[in-house]
A and B are shown apart, each in its own frame.
Chain A
Amino acid sequence: MKIHLKIWRQKDAKAKGKLVDYMLDQVDHHMSFLEMMDTLNEQLILKGEMPVEFDHDCREGICGTCGMMINGQAHGPVPGLTACQLHMREFEDGATIYVEPFRATAFPVKRDLKVDRSAFDRIIQAGGFITANTGQPVEANTLLITHETAESAFDSAACIGCGACVATCKNSSAALFTSAKVSHLAKIPQGEKEAAKRVLKMVSRMDEEGFGHCSNTEACEVECPQGISVLNIARMNWEYTKANLLKD
């Protein structure tokens, strides 16, 4: 199939970027989107041009590395997918596809489609963990957790930190990402002890990093490749209010 690409090229964070046109005429519809990008890059390199820089690694939809706006949607048109799991059979022969980086103040562009998402790591550093040193923890089965609680904690813990929620939010809010971790750890008994401190610190760091506020449009849930629910945001707000009310 034939594909017309309009790809955002930008040398670094300071440079001015622009959309550049590329044509590919032998795209196999079984290819993944990133394999199509590999094909383009191979051609660019052979012509002596710089390939399009984009982040990717596992290509199994789990590492969270790949992320780009495809036709204005984070990870492209199919719901519940990362870009690496998107296949060319989703596009028409002769289609024009816009490819741009995730845009958010807190995610500066490094080059082309590569952005800096280290703000997410700093949110985790602020308290997205259980304070448990390596050593002699209690026997695992002394801590009973019902099937339903474990499954529900897992649903929140499944976030891959890809940043699609931020990219698709009109306020560039990191509420879905942060709330997923807050919920995962608050739901299980091991994480309960620090829940109040954790949510206050994480929310405050999220604000400091330049992410916007959540205004409940729920676009994040629609774009999330892992189907993380906005109910996590509700839980985060509840945990936050509770912590604020009860703090000394």
Chain B
Amino acid sequence: MELDAKIPAGPLETKWSQYKAQAKLVNPANRKKLPVIVVGTGLAGASAAASLAEQGYPVTSFCFQDSARRAHSVAAQGGVNAAKNYQNDGDSVYRMFYDTLKGGDFRAREANVYRLAECSLNLIDQAVAQGVPFAREYGGYLSNRSFGGVQVSRTFYARGQTGQQLLLGAYQALMRQVSLGKVNLYSRHEMLDLVVIEGKAKGIIARNLDTGLIERFAAEAVVIATGGFGKIYYLSTLAMGCNGSAIWRAHKRGALMACPSWTQIHPTSLPQSGDYQSKLTLMSESLRNDGRIWVPQLPDEQRAANDIPEQERDYYLERRYPSFGNLAPRDISSRAAKERIDAGFGVGAQRNAVYLDFSKAIKEQGKEKIKEKYGNLFSMYKKITADDAYAAPMKISPAAHFSMGGLWVDYELMTTIPGLFAIGEANFADHGANRLGANSLLQACVDGYFILPYTLANYLSGELKKEKITTDHPEFDRTEKEVVTQLTGLCELKGTKTADYFHKKLGKLLYDKCGLSRSAEGLTAAIEGIKILRTAFYKDLIVPGTAGEINSELEKAGRVADYLEIAELMCHDALSREESCGAHFREEYQTADGEALRDDENYCYVSAWEWRGKNSLPVLHPEHLKFEFIKLSVRSYS
């Protein structure tokens, strides 16, 4: 299989406008004959569903939450990037393109990343038009701050709740279309399978989580916007319901998965405090604008942070990466923290954290100014830890956060199954091997608002004259039967261990062997370990109740079943990439200073994997990345 990314020819700056100028259109009168399914109502899903409905396509939209407003985009704190150059600090579309490619360790497509930077300008205008209350200067102009991995201020923010405000903008646009009858919204519905007919995506099977009823939905195209699967590590910064099921079921129906092992570990999460813990809470990366990160210079230090004198502190990020300092990119900062913690310099009860210290900023700017910038984050910190971060440094620790991998898509955001699109975090595109802060909200938004509406029309124009498929088609029968068999099978196991038990075991295994650092030996052992765990799962799982009722344990069990398969693919992916890049750090491939050692000659590709069945190894289809406009360089932040 030769993967064709369908990147338009011509200069970087005109690729997207050329594409738009040449893409096929659908007559407004014909659009209502082309129904579209959008799964997920986060930034990508809600913006796509609303924008497509505005154009006249009948949209059916799904989310597993009780309301579309609750998708996990809501929890993103820090901000959204755009190359507006409002600060006159030398920003430009090209610079943002370059920062993003470099931040991703040169493992993303040039054309996609340039388009991301280009569309960023429009997104801010769109969000402001919808009423997103971004921070403003006193004169009324938009305000900006800086994020990890860049030296300009291009991040727009709404206090520490930027994701919430952007999501509410998209959600409100979606609600408007619901009220106009242009979107049929099914909340508390989970996509459990994809229906593929004659090689094309033509519908989904979903479970009504309120009744247990299995329902069929047909459409001319299916868009997956279900976010990332970082919750596979169990302890992560993601919401409890975040899962990989929709993309995984699509993968098993023929869509390739790309770079599944690239999960970003975020450096500024709250540390784990006990075994009962269900998740880790993220503190916005924007804190690193004013907070200084350090650990004691002596191992096993017993004194309280404020009792340790300045000269006995190790500001290791400032020491190792002087030009970026505390704003070094996430993968670099996370790894540096792990290195110090592993070396015995960790702080806190479990010795698993580092300090994030605001005392200098408070001294220089005053407590009020810091409160205005980060007040809600400080109060959130206090709610969870009962500690006052104005008085003593915060304790932070790395935690699984964002999936750079996902379904493989071409420039049109279409997967290898025609008619199946993947947008936002559910696809692999744009971030490469590491995501820069504040680029995630951006990608989700531009995919949904500005890219998919053009590329989907280009596909749908070819479907207009084809015979329409209904849910009576035998393929719907067959797919539904498989879904029902799986659900009843899980309910009938009647074992002695809960879905959470297996999820925690899997999470620990992955974090240790396929987390912040990886080795051939560890990954090989992990693959064996996952197989054993999977066998145990199907022998010893207990799910109470039946599939025909509200049953959150059954929901969890289905997701864990998928995680147990995704995890194995993650390990294969990490094992096959014999280099270090971005979030993927192979211990065998590092420089003398312990930095990631990339191998452009052999691994400058996107690894796309094909599912060959339960008992077969996945097959790798590399998409070789071509860099026509920039020169690959060593990623240095010192």
Contact = CB atoms under 8 A, between A and B. Distances in A.
B125 A139 contact: yes
B68 interface: yes
B542 A45 contact: yes
Contact of B74 (A38, A45, A46, A63): A63
A137 B136 contact: no
B136 A145 contact: yes
A132 B67 contact: no
B233 to A, nearest CB: 15
Contact of B126 (A32, A62, A134): A134
A59 B165 contact: no
A246 interface: no
Contacts of A137: 122, 125-126, 128-129
A134 B51 contact: yes
Contact of A57 (B65, B164, B179, B449): B65
B125 A140 contact: yes
Given A48-B544, A50-B545, A157-B165, A125 B131 contact: no
B140 A55 contact: no
Contacts of A153: 131, 133
Contacts of B164: 62, 158, 160
Contacts of A154: 133, 158-159, 161, 165
B337 interface: no
Nearest to B500: A42
Interface stretch (B103-111, B196-204, B274-282): B274-282
Contact of A64 (B69, B128, B187, B240): B69
Most chain A Cβ neighbours within 10 Å, of B165, B274, B449, B550: B550
Give the contact-size bracket for chain B: 35 or more
Contact of B550 (A110, A124, A151): A110
Contacts of A129: 130, 172-173, 175-176
A158 B74 contact: no
B134 interface: yes
B272 to A, nearest CB: 10
Contact of B544 (A45, A58, A190): A45
Interface residues of A, number: 76
B55 to A, nearest CB: 9
A106 interface: no
Contacts of A116: 66
Given A45-B542, A124-B175, A150 B135 contact: yes
A130 interface: yes
A64 B70 CA distance: 7
Given A144-B139, A157-B168, A111 B175 contact: no
Interface string A41-54: 01011101111010
B133 A157 contact: yes
Nearest to B50: A134
A215 interface: no
A39 interface: yes
Interface stretch (A1-9, A81-89, A228-236): A81-89
Given A64-B70, A141-B86, 11 more contacts: A49-B544, A116-B66, A121-B175, A124-B69, A125-B176, A138-B129, A146-B136, A153-B133, A157-B133, A160-B164, A191-B131
Interface of B: 47, 50-51, 54, 65-70, 72, 74-75, 84, 86, 122, 124-131, 133-142, 158-159, 161, 164-165, 168, 171-173, 175-176, 178-179, 187, 210, 239-241, 273-274, 276-279, 281-282, 379-380, 383-384, 386, 449-450, 453, 496, 498, 500, 542, 544-545, 550, 552-553
The 3 closest A-B pairs by CB, nearest first: A144-B140, A129-B172, A137-B129
30 contacts: A45-B544, A46-B542, A48-B544, A50-B545, A51-B553, A56-B240, A59-B240, A59-B279, A59-B281, A62-B74, A64-B74, A121-B68, A125-B175, A125-B179, A130-B172, A132-B130, A132-B173, A133-B51, A140-B142, A143-B128, A144-B139, A144-B140, A146-B139, A147-B138, A151-B133, A153-B133, A154-B165, A157-B133, A161-B67, A190-B128
